[in-house]
């Protein structure tokens, strides 16, 4: 009987060690959504620039329809925004609406006209 108890304790310790590592895997998998959406925004912005010689912050002009986010009953975990757009440049962000690891920090990604995609707030 004591052998079973020891085995259960060892399994419990292993699960305790693995669970925090799974949180970062989930956060990395979720960040792929942000990267894909920002890459799409970049392509739409470039297309708009070639037609109109300027960038835009208007999703309707871009032809981009944001999927419903989790706070709206949808499945998108990131809120996409074009935070600046001018004749020569644009900057768009994807901000997580869910705190993946419970530390109060929300993951944020950014892309610009040069297709520089970077994580500006790591969760």
**Residue 18 vs residue 98, higher pLDDT:** 98
Signed CA dihedral, 48, 49, 52, 56: sign only: positive
**Lowest mean pLDDT segment, chosen from 2-6, 67-71, 97-101:** 2-6
Which tens digits make up the pLDDT trace of 70-86?
899 999 999 999 999 99
pLDDT of residue 49: 97
pLDDT of residue 117: 96
pLDDT of residue 1: 66
Residues contacting 57, CB < 8 A, separation 6+: 82, 83, 84, 85, 90
Domain range annotation of the chain: 2-121
Q: Confirm if 77 and 98 have CB atoms less than 8 A apart.
A: yes
Which tens digits make up the pLDDT trace of 9-49?
888 888 777 666 566 666 777 889 999 999 999 999 999 99
Q: Confirm if 107 and 119 have CB atoms less than 8 A apart.
A: yes
The CATH number of 2-121 is 3.30.700
């Amino acid at each position: 009987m004591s052998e079973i108890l020891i085995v259960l304790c060892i399994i419990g310790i292993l699960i305790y060690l693995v669970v925090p590592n799974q949180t970062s895997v989930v956060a990395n998998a979720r960040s792929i959504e942000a990267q894909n959406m920002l890459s799409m925004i970049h392509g739409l912005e470039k297309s708009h620039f070639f037609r109109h010689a300027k960038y835009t912050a208007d999703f309707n002009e871009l032809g981009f329809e944001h999927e419903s986010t989790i706070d709206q009953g949808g499945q998108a975990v990131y809120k996409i925004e074009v935070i600046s757009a001018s004749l020569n440049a644009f900057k768009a962000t994807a901000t997580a609406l869910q705190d993946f690891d419970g530390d109060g920090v929300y993951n944020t990604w950014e892309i610009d006209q040069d297709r520089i995609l970077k994580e500006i707030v790591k969760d």
